[in-house]
Structure 1
Amino acid sequence: MSKFTPASKRRCRCKTEFPLQLWLKSKVSDRLRSALEAQMATSAEAKLTDGFHLLAEALKLNGLDTIFGLPGIPITDFLRLAQADGMRVISFRHEQNAGHAAAAAGFLTQKPGICMTVSAPGFLNGLTALANATTNCFPMIMISGSSEREIVDLQQGDYEEMDQMAAAKPFCKASFRVLHVEDIGIGVARAIRAAVSGRPGGVYLDLPAKVFAQSMEAEAGRRSLVQVVDAAPRQIPSSESVERALGLLKNAKKPLILLGKGAAYAQADADIRALIEKTGIPYLPMSMAKGLLPDTHQQSAAAARSLVLQQADVVLLIGARLNWLLSHGKGKTWGKPGSQRFIQIDISPTEIDSNVAIAAPVIGDIGSCVSALLVGIGNKWTAPAADWIDAISKRREANLTKMAATLLKNPSPMTFHSALGVIRDIVKARPDAIVVNEGANTLDFARSVVDMYEPRRRLDVGTWGVMGIGMGYAIGAAVTTGKPVIAIEGDSAFGFSGMEVETICRYNLPVCIVIFNNGGVYKGTDTNVSGHSDVAPTVFVKGARYDKMMEAFGGVGVHATTREELMRAMKEAIASGKPTLINAVIDENDGTESGRIGNLNPQSATYFPAMALTRLARVARHCCPLEAAVVPQIGQRVQTLVAKFTATPETLALRPQRVALLGGRATVQAWEAILAEAGIDVACDATDIDISATAAACDAVFVDLTSGGALDQVMLALTEATAAAITPTVVAVLQLDIPLDSAPGHPLFCTWTSPGGQRLKSWTQAVDILGRGAASLGWRSVVLHLLSDREKERTVVFQRCAASGLVRMMARVLEPDFK
């Protein structure tokens, strides 16, 4: 065995130790040597970096300087360090709201918003926002700390153990995990490119706890970072696809341009406006595309939505998908099958033909595609036919006039429309303000009432229709833009994220929250029919004071019961920029079940279609023989059922050719199938936003109220039809199916108002209004069916029906299967 000599040892040290260290050992006192060695150790440490610093530097290098998150294990120190390093860190009370804020920032800036969460439960809290961002095509990166892989994979029970990457994959566009500190730069770069390239979306980046503390040489760490170049490159459409689209547009008799939120995200505002104005084609904006051109623009067809969707022969989709929001491009909303041809601009080829055939797909980014169309259009484009433009203008002006009259009303307590009329005026005075909107009725009415004037100034529930985006979107918009934010919130929707008012106050953000407080989900009048002391599932605390929440955290709280109080409070909030919450008291009777999408709300099995048909037959059996009863002939199956119950040929009305159909989801589907078998065209159903206008083109309106959940929207539609002087010849109001002794608490008397704005207080008042409508509009008949086992009440309604000129039908007893 060989041994080192002392000389050889010294030579070895010369190769492995700094000369200064050798010199210190021989020349400097022990005390001085210790001091200098400590200084050198500090200098050596300064040349190292770790995961905390590299993550912050990777984000900053790519222009991502704001983090929305919630501190906790293992990211607390990272958030402290990021803030100290010049990044803005907005700390929330719940990760879901932080995620929504990041998504809103992504939509507004075209850069991925950054959300930071803790592991497991915190990650899961943020997952809803990640999935929502992906569905809405908003670029966002959710970065979560996680447990160590070697423990998770062996399922050894680590702190908040979860395979987060596996959980995230189905809900995001891409997911990545970084296991080594030197890969942080690559991980961030890949996440950025995935989030913004092609169709934008949510991306998940998983960072196990130990990665944050891993260290490496500082210079090598700096070199490991990646500055992403051209993350979302332009995708130029083919010349053939552009020529095909232009050819289709040129030959269109009734063209329409439909703008989706993708058009707003694209920030091709000038070219989109030029395309619309140079062609003269009317356009219809989806809710988050409002403001690309001012809603008051003369080519806007928003106030004639039903007409243009049903009658347009060529539709150019820009940043819009034919999903449920557009009835999948088919069905009653779109008129007769095959009557439209679609041009679709989309960056993803797989989106094409997803619901209906697309005649002219144009694949590329929206800016490039619109620019190419503009070049092809030139300066000699022939404007659409005058009769098409005139028809839209006439319908638009009629509906806007009707809306204006509604907004001028000043009821007490306020209604959705009267309160929204105030917000409409506020936004008109401050067109740069950003509107955030969620709720059921609050959302549905605000979309049509509150005009937008600038692009990307409206954020709402989007493609998923998810509640809970309100405070997150509001904070994200305020932090990103510095503009005033007006959050129009239903009281139910506000509950999902309401605690973030503390966050708004903590960062002193210019957010004015207006809560439409009608005391419940949809409305505050539901009752517990069991007789138990618990309130109904949809009812909240009466007289709730949400304004006190804001005051508790140092913001401004206002309790507004009139339009004047609401106007004053909003003006002060916008002028001051102070966090403000206005508790706007809305009539608890105002509102409809599930807003405008009640048809999506499943009904009880007792209201299945077969039951509806059986009940119709029983109505016919009990028809009073002394009156000229009119029962719509709606197909052989119904005729057979009617025949079973001794109906006579005299009870069958003239066969209608085109009907508007209103009712709950199950019954609407049943009627639609039966009418189709009978060769009768169905123009629209309860999902149609402009039902009264559509009914004008029909010779019958069938209303099936076998489902109580559809009462509100159907009665609203009938009231609108009356106000608009629609003249169908037959209106069949079938089966209200509500025992009279339960009437005072039923939604009918809480939501359906007479033309004068007074709430219904009795069945007889309802009959009077129907009678006046029938008389003034020339309806051939109104068939009214009530169920009650109380002879006195039936007699009263019979008498009132006769006085009103209505056909009267009533079951003699409340039969068991009706209960």
Structure 2
Amino acid sequence: MHNTPLTGGQALVRLLANYGVDTVFGIPGVHTLELYRGLPGSGIRHVLTRHEQGAGFMADGYARVSGKPGVCFVITGPGVTNAATAIGQAYADSIPMLVISSVNHTASLGKGWGCLHETQDQRAMTAPITAFSAVALSAEDLPELIARAYAVFDSERPRPVHISVPLDVLAAPVKRDWSNEVVRRPNRGLPASCLLEEAAAKLAAAKRPMIIAGGGALQAADALQQLSTRLAAPLFTSVAGKGLLAPQAPLNAGASLCVEPGWKLIAEADVVLAVGTEMADTDFWRERLELNGELLRVDIDPRKFNDFYPCALALQGDARLTVGALLEHLPDIKRDPETAIASVAALRQALKAGHGPLQTIHQAILDRIAAELPDNAFISTDMTQLAYTGNYAFASRAPRSWLHPTGYGTLGYGLPAGIGGMFATEDRPGLVLVGDGGFLYTAQELATAVEELDRPLVVLLWNNDALGQIRDDMLSLDIEPIGVLPRNPDFAGLGRAFGCTVAQPGSLDELQQELRAGFARNSVTLIELKHACAR
């Protein structure tokens, strides 16, 4: 019996399955039909989104919760430009994402013939927001490009990769079956032993050492906890690193480097160890963090060592391996942790005491959430004032449990990222925190959530009938507010139209009851909380 050879699209899907891809997010289109030919029988689940931006954000959320690359399929031209915002967000926050798109026939590329979905140079549109963007000019290029993508995900600073495949390459039979050619050689490495010894000596000699850990340190939680304890060093995280220490760990300073009490405490450090963190102004909410001590940096990306915060000692390598090696090089020191523990306790008190009226309302909501949130749940947040407060005021119980679009700061992230996170495991419930403005960017993805999910996903819509942060910023700069008081739709009616269970609590007690009911429901719940009901 003669076996029909695989097309490029079919072989590519099989190759992805062999790399361990179990879920792809996307919308089929006339230019991706050959990819979809390969999905039946591949073992890969396809999640139909309602917009390519939603597909990108879902892939991002999947990656943040699972630790694996998120994958999406998009069409030529408008599919790529629609997904570009999500690609930019993943780039800013160092999230592994694989974007597979079609592109026009090889013979037409760059010709300007006016083909359907044509762009002048599709690769150039995503090159600045990816680790690399490439066009597969033949089917035989695909295994090499996928291997290169996984080299980024496994061994470098993880960032999105975009691979464009021309229509003729997708449709033509492959000359040989390369769909089993998986190449994964993780090579994150360690700094030289002499550098580890020097760093360990500096940490051991420090009188007030402190640690800042970011999203690049998520695999290093155990080692960081041991290092923090042995050094009696308060451990701060960026928003991306939330949950690295247990909420009540006495040296857990949390993600408080974005508010004044955190700034004051880190300024007291004589040695600061920064692990897997970009140390950007979006982490600190100020142009420059006041660091009076010596800075030691652990990072996979050598470009971080001499940027805005040049360091005294650069340790290039994997965060988990490097912190583990620091522990081995650390001399046997006995420290009294009481002063550091007292400093962290005072920091926590100062955070709550420093709340303004709006943040006090947010804290009351966050306390009700904490009371009802299942132990294994994750929270996906949007660019909304409730989440800005939650970034530093809500204690995450584990890594990969608080998703926020920190660096790029795009509205509309929270809902689709939360949906994507639901596909990353088989048992974790999710909570989405979103404002009325950001919700309307991607509200259509409720259709995907209702269609696909059979576990609890609770969407908490904080409705202040305003672009509240922008309004407040305008007022603080003595600018007459314009365009910040939109007329909102009937959100409850909208949620019902999509098939959600809808609640509109009139008080914080009712909110807590609805949260409890939502997490007991194996479907999607939309809770609209109006500003007046949270006072």
TM-score normalized with structure 2 length = 0.90
Q: Please give the residue correspondences for 1:97-496 in structure 2 after superposition, counting only pairs within 5 Å.
A: 97-162=54-119, 163-216=121-174, 220-221=176-177, 223=178, 225-230=180-185, 232-264=186-218, 267-302=219-254, 304-326=261-283, 331=288, 333-334=289-290, 339-377=292-330, 380-383=332-335, 386-400=338-352, 415-427=361-373, 430-482=374-426, 483-496=428-441
SS of 1:321 mapped into structure 2 = coil
Paired residue secondary structure (2:468): coil
CA distance in 2 between counterparts of 1:469 and 1:500 reads 11
Unaligned runs of 5+ in 2: 476-480
Q: CA deviation at 1:492?
A: 1.3
Is the 2:190–2:321 Cα contact (8 Å) retained in structure 1?
A: yes
Three-state SS of the structure 2 residue aligned to 1:325 is helix
Q: 1:555 & 1:184 partners in 2: Cα distance? A: 41
Partner of 2:516: 571
1:412-811 to 2 correspondences below 5 Å: 415-427=361-373, 430-482=374-426, 483-509=428-454, 510-522=456-468, 536-541=482-487, 544-587=489-532
Distance 2:122 2:461 in 1: 36
Cα distance in 2 for residues equivalent to 1:470 and 1:361: 35
The one-letter amino acid paired with 2:239 is S
Q: Displacement, 1:71?
A: 1.2
- What is the letter of the counterpart of residue 359 of structure 1? A
Cα displacement string for residues 413-438 of structure 1 (whole angstroms, at most 9, x for unaligned residues): xx4333222112223xx221001112
Question: Counterpart of 1:123 in structure 2: which amino acid?
Answer: V
> SS of the residue aligned with 1:481?
coil
Change (3 A) 1:133 1:371: same
SS at match of 1:372: helix
Aligned match for 1:60, one of 11, 14, 17: 17
State the Cα deviation string for residues 20-71 of structure 1 (Å, max 9, x = none): xxxxxxxxxxxxxxxxxxxxxxx33x24221222011110111112111111
Retained in 2: the 8 A contact 1:185–1:225? no
What's the CA shift string for 1:603-623, capped at 9, x where partnerless? xxxxxxxxxxxxxxxxxxxxx
In 2, the alpha carbon distance for the partners of 1:384 and 1:97 equals 50
Q: C-alpha distance in 2, partners of 1:131/1:398?
A: 35
- 1:390 deviates by 3.0
Distance 2:41 2:319 in 1: 39
Q: 1:554 to 1:301 in 2, by over 3 A?
A: same
Are 1:79 and 2:36 counterparts? Answer: yes
User: 1:245, 1:361 within 8 Å by CA — same for their partners in 2?
Assistant: no
Distance apart, 1:536 and its partner CA = 4.2
Instruction: Supply the distance in 1 between the matched residues of 2:351 and 2:301 (Cα, whole angstroms).
Output: 37
Between the aligned partners of 1:424 and 1:381, the Cα distance in structure 2 is 37
* Superposed displacement of residue 229, structure 1: 2.5
Which one-letter code corresponds to 1:344 in the other structure?
A: R
Which of the residues 91, 113, 127 maps onto 2:48? 91
Q: By how many angstroms is 1:567 displaced?
A: 1.0
Shift, 1:386, TM fit? 4.6
When residues 384 and 134 of structure 1 are mapped into structure 2, their CA distance, relative to the original with a 3 A threshold, is: farther
User: In structure 1, what is the Cα distance between the partners aligned to 2:212 and 2:409?
Assistant: 19
Q: Does the aligned pair in 2 maintain the 1:67–1:90 contact within 8 Å?
A: yes
When you count helix as a share of all residues, which structure comes out higher? 1
Whole-angstrom CA distance in 2 between matches of 1:212 and 1:244: 53
Match of 1:50 in 2: 7
Structure 1 unaligned segments of length 5 or more: list them.
1-42, 410-414, 530-534, 591-756, 758-819
SS of equivalent to 2:109: helix
CA contact (8 A) 2:382 2:413 kept: yes
Structure 1 residues 546, 505: closer, same or farther in 2, change over 3 A? Answer: same
Shift of 1:72: 0.7
Report 1 or 2 for greater relative contact order, CA contacts < 8 Å, sequence distance ≥ 6. 2
Counterpart contact for 1:176–1:191, Cα < 8 Å? no
Q: Match of 1:167, as an amino acid? A: M
Structure 2 distance, partners of 1:234, 1:524, is 42
Amino acid in structure 1 at the alignment position of 2:203: L
Say if 2:250 and 2:341, in contact at 8 Å, map to a contact too: no
What is the root-mean-square deviation of aligned Cα atoms in Å? 2.7
Q: Is the 8 A contact 1:545 1:559 kept in 2?
A: no
Counterpart Cα distance in 1 of 2:314 and 2:286: 15
- Whole-Å Cα distance in 2 between the matches of residues 88 and 387 of structure 1? 52
Counterpart contact for 1:416–1:586, Cα < 8 Å: no
Aligned partner letter, 1:255:
P
Counting matched residue pairs gives: 521
Residue identity matched to 2:87 = L
Amino acid at match of 1:240: C
Partner of 2:196, secondary structure, is helix
Structure 2 SS opposite 1:311? coil
Q: Does the CA contact (< 8 Å) of 2:372 and 2:515 recur in 1?
A: yes
In 2 relative to 1, CA 56–525 (structure 1 residues): closer, same or farther, beyond 3 Å? closer
How many angstroms apart in 1 are the aligned matches of 2:179 and 2:5? 13
Structure 1, residues 456-507: CA drift from partner, whole Å, max 9, x if none? 1111112222222112211111011231010011111212211101110010
Choose 1 or 2 for highest CA Rg. Answer: 1
SS class of match (1:67): strand
Partner amino acid, structure 2, of 1:486? L
Distance change (3 Å), C-alpha of 1:381 and 1:405: farther
Deviation at 1:448, TM superposition (A): 3.0
1:398 Cα deviation from its structure 2 partner:
4.9
Letter in 2 for 1:450: F
CA contact (8 A) 2:89 2:405 kept: no
Partner of 2:478 in structure 1?
A: none
Q: Percent identity?
A: 25
Instruction: Say which is worse superposed, 508-517 or 395-404, in terms of deviation.
Output: 395-404
Counterpart residue identity of residue 553, structure 1? F
Cα distance, 1:388–1:137 mapped onto 2, change above 3 Å? same
Q: Tell me by how many angstroms 1:561 deviates.
A: 2.1
Q: 1:618 aligns to what?
A: none
Matches of 1:268 and 1:351, distance apart in 2: 19
> What is the rounded CA distance, in whole Å, between the counterparts of 2:145 and 2:357 in structure 1?
57
C-alpha distance after superposition, 1:760-795 (max 9, x if no partner):
xxxxxxxxxxxxxxxxxxxxxxxxxxxxxxxxxxxx
User: CA shift at 1:278, angstroms?
Assistant: 2.5
How far has the Cα of 1:349 moved from its partner? 1.6
CA, structure 1 residues 371+55, in 2 after alignment: closer, same or farther (shift >3 Å)? Answer: same
Contact kept? 1:145, 1:208, Cα under 8 Å: yes
Distance between the aligned counterparts of 1:132 and 1:276, measured in 2? 31
| Residues 102 and 438 of structure 1: CA distance in aligned 2, closer, same or farther (over 3 Å) | same
| Contact preservation (8 Å) 1:502, 1:550 | no
Does the CA-based 8 Å contact 2:294-2:312 persist in structure 1? yes
